[in-house]
Structure 1
Amino acid sequence: MATTRRSRTRYSGSQRSGDFPIACAAWYPSFPNSRQEDLAYIISGKVTDESDTASTGSLELFHYDYKDGDLASAHIHDVDEGQLLQSIAIHPKGGGAVCSFSSDCKLYNLGKSSGLQLKVSDQDLAPLKDIGPQMAMIFSTDGSRLATGGKDGHLRVFEWPSLTLLFDHPDGYGLLKSIDISLDGAFLAAIPATGKYCHVWDIEKSTIITTIHNSNKNELFGLCKFSKDGTKPFLFLTITRGGEGSGIGVWDMEAWNKLGIKTFSRDPITSFATSHDGKWLAIGDAAGVIRLIEVKKMQISQTTTDAHTSKVTLLDFSPDGRVLMSSSIDSPLSVTKRNLDKEWKEWQIYVLLLSLIVGSAILFYVFFQHSDSFWNFPLGRDQPARPPPDAIYGHVTDFDGGEFM
């Protein structure tokens, strides 16, 4: 039976250390009644003991404090013996976390009956029972579809939460390295472990609409991501070019033409992530270096070299994109803040304009009160230069009601 246990361990700074590597991890969108501006949550899975005959693992819930930069373990859920963790997909609207084990998948939700903790959901996941290990899983951006890629290359797309099977391709191409669903939920991209090509499927029609091949035999595809900014539809593929470093290739989604390839690292890219607003990409390489890339310019805006000393195995942006979670063999979980200039929000611009108007009025008032006599106009009734009424209207006794002369 699975058991749960609470952990009071806190980790100073953003680095989380441990003895066991992380098998899978992702940010949880939010938790009801939480201080969203201050806290964010991460669910991670790890193998705590593995041998030829048995294996054990656990799911761990962390909360990250934006103000202090602290990552703390909130709850540990031990899984059944022999259920080796493979991958995790978290619903983008907080509808739970689907975890793949050796034989089937389970759905976990966040509960708060006796403190924040992970609980196995009562939702029926019959179509995912005995499905086997899924090496890759991902929800569509709106959470209406779940794509899975089995160890044998079997691709499936389910409607969520009904789990109606929309796409089923059992003709495996071997172990899958990476899958992703387009922003509109219409296309599915998949790269096999060989890295020799990338298939793009039309989910509704269950047909391949294009196959992207390597330009030459020295190139290998690694990971795939669709653009998410909603303006220009692109497909990003990480590419390792033998002896020439590795980078990102960009294909448009209209004619599926290659727009270009840009090199970002001398080492192979081992992890890839996109921010939820689609403005940023993140790559981690075999040397443990993390690079943040601005999509608009396709330029590196931030490089982190001290988070890991070995290959980065996973990357994931927080829901608001303020921090980046990463993992490697040497340091299971690390959180890195984005060192970027803050973007102006609309209300901040209005506050600034109002401040300028008020400030200008105050300065004018001070200047007026302390200016010389030329500007400090006399305003009293008995002004020295004010002429007497007689000089303008004459004496009141001179007017007898006749014609005024």
Structure 2
Amino acid sequence: MANTQTYGFPIYAADWIPEETVRSKIDKDKENSKDGSESSSSSSSRSCIVLAGGGGEGRSGIPNVIVICRVDLESNSLSEQPVGRVVVTGGLPYRMAVHPSEGILICALPESCKRFDLENIMRPREGVELEEVVNELEDVGLQLALAFNQEGSVLAAGGEDGTSRIFEWPSMKTLLNESKAHAEVKNLTFSESGKFLVSLGGPLCRVWDVNASTAVASLSKEKDEMFASCRFSVDNAGNEVLYIAAKTERGGSIITWDTTSWKRRHSKLLKNYSISAFNVSPDGRFLAFGTLEGDVLIISSTKMKTHQFVKKAHLGLVTALTFSPDSRCLVSVSIDSRAKLTVIEQKAETNGIDWPVVVLMFVLLLVVSYYFLMVKGIIGEE
């Protein structure tokens, strides 16, 4: 196992699987092992990621697949061989959403969305279908964004045709079906409380009240900004905050929005970085960016300063980023068919104190004090 693995197909989506979903698979493997045991690191971490992608229409000979790979958090490595794999019929699985507790995966295909049971992918059984069309999302065109709220009680889908849809889960009762939400919906994110859904597309972000099924705000770009991705998080004071990653002529930009007034708080320019993927750690401490050049950048959400930079993490553009549930590490994926696990470095907190500046000010204070005392005659020249 190593922190970078190649899985043989362009990867477009990635997410972590809830521990409860993989526990039975790992325990079963342990029972079936020859010596009746498994390495302590594998059994204790109980972590897996699911990856989706493929060759598209099939002329390349590369299949469209979903694979599940084990992550060893003690050795910080990815398994070379998947612990589960299924070939997807109906086209490329371009986007996906993992249910936070049920072990269910929803994948967006070119015309419809399909549902997969992750346990069945890891432990296929004879006669059990591995994929099932979601009737309410059949023949609706490609969905560019899928998201569950944190409770898993609501599913949102955003289409290439600009339609925003919100459903109760698992009943799939329609809460919202807005056909002209955007020219096309590029990204979706639920607020931490689940009260709001933000949909992003074209020049606007729209904020939806989920319970009322109405739009309550529109967030507009400025100057040369092009909104690319959005994520909710919580700041140090426990307040919800919305981050929007944007592309500009000078590089990437991260914009912070107040979720009460829906006004901009501030923006941070990431000069010369071309953003292709964006995410926020579950604990809200870090923002991660993937670039067209294959780099991965991790910055502090409070100081907006670089925490880690992984140059050429991939050979092609980064398509997706996903933090582990405990925010200890980040998985990045790319069209280069590789997944890379990056451990978040633990650095000493300085509480915002810039020590080089403090030292410089202290030296200047000594110099000024010395000359003041000389002028007053309190000390004399040697």
Classify the TM-score, shorter chain.
Answer: 0.7 to 0.9
* Cα pair 2:141 2:161 within 8 Å, conserved: no
Q: Secondary structure at the match of 1:180?
A: strand
TM-score scaled by structure 1? 0.73
Cα distance change of structure 1 residues 232 and 37 upon mapping to structure 2, 3 Å threshold? farther
Question: Which digits, 9 at most, give the CA deviation of each residue in 1:129-186, with x for residues without a partner?
Answer: 3333211101111211111011211111111122111111112523222111111111
In 1, Cα distance between the equivalents of 2:134 and 2:319?
28
Q: 1:112 to 1:127 in 2, by over 3 A?
A: closer
The correspondence for 2:113, drawn from 102, 105, 119, is 105
The alpha-carbon deviation at position 18 of structure 1 amounts to 4.2
Q: Which amino acid aligns with 1:32?
A: R
Partner of 1:360: none
Return the alpha-carbon distance in structure 2 between the equivalents of residues 330 and 38 of structure 1: 27
Q: Secondary structure at the match of 1:32?
A: helix
Confirm or deny: 8 A CA contact 2:112 2:140 kept in the other structure: yes
Aligned match of 1:252: 258
Residue in 2 aligned with 1:61?
68
The equivalent of 2:12 in structure 1 is: 23
User: Paired residue for 1:278, among 279, 284, 287?
Assistant: 284
Residue 299 (structure 1) shift: 2.3
Distance 1:215 1:329 in 2: 31
What's the counterpart of residue 85 of structure 2? 76
State the alpha-carbon separation in 2 of the partners of residues 127 and 103 from structure 1.
12
Q: For structure 1, which runs of at least 5 residues remain unmatched after alignment?
A: 1-11, 344-405
The DSSP-based 3-state class of the residue aligned with 1:176 is coil
Taking the TM superposition and a 5 Å limit, the aligned residue runs for 1:327-342 are 327-341=333-347
SS at match of 2:64: strand
Q: Give the counterpart letter for 1:135 in structure 2.
A: L
Partner of 2:145: 136
Describe the shift of the 1:233–1:112 C-alpha distance in structure 2 as closer, same or farther (beyond 3 A): closer
Question: Which is helix-richer, 1 or 2?
Answer: 2
User: 1:27, CA displacement in angstroms?
Assistant: 1.2
Q: In the alignment, what sits opposite 1:91?
A: 99
Q: Is the 8 A contact 1:308 1:331 kept in 2?
A: no
The answer to whether the 8 A contact 2:314-2:338 is kept is no
**Which 10-residue stretch deviates more, 47-56 or 269-278?**
47-56
Partner of residue 50, structure 2: 43
Q: Percent identity?
A: 30
TM normalised by structure 2 equals 0.77
* Alpha-carbon distance, 1:313 to partner: 1.2
Correspondence for 1:209? 216
Distance in 2 (alpha carbons) for counterparts of 1:294 and 1:53: 40
Q: Provide the residue aligned with 2:186 in structure 1.
A: 177
Task: Tell whether the 8 Å contact from 2:288 to 2:297 is kept in structure 1 after alignment.
Answer: yes
Distance 1:168 1:112 in 2: 31
> Relative contact order (C-alpha < 8 Å, sep 6+): which is higher?
2
Q: What do you get for the CA RMSD once the two structures are aligned?
A: 2.8
2:173 paired residue number: 164
Cα offset, 1:293, TM superposition? 2.0
SS in 2 for 1:320: coil
Map of 1:290 onto structure 2: 296
How many angstroms does 1:273 deviate by? 0.8
Secondary structure of the residue that 1:215 maps to in structure 2? coil
Look up the match of 1:14.
Answer: 3
Moved more, 246-255 or 273-282: 273-282
Amino acid of the structure 1 residue aligned with 2:110: S
* Cα distance between partner residues in 1 of 2:221 and 2:287: 22
Q: Is the 8 A contact 1:109 1:120 kept in 2?
A: no
CA–CA separation in structure 2 for the residues paired with 1:311 and 1:147: 26
Provide Cα deviations, 1:255-277, integer angstroms capped at 9, x if missing partner.
11211111224122111111222
The Cα of 1:36 is off from its aligned counterpart by 6.8
Larger Rg: 1
> 1:272, 1:314 within 8 Å by CA — same for their partners in 2?
yes
Counting only pairs closer than 5 Å after superposition, residues 179-328 of structure 1 correspond to structure 2 as 179-192=188-201, 194=202, 196-216=203-223, 218-228=224-234, 231-242=238-249, 244-328=250-334
Q: Of residues 32, 36, 58 in structure 1, which corresponds to 2:23? A: 32
Report the Cα distance in structure 2 between the residues aligned to 1:205 and 1:307, rounded to whole angstroms.
43
User: Aligned residue pairs: how many?
Assistant: 326
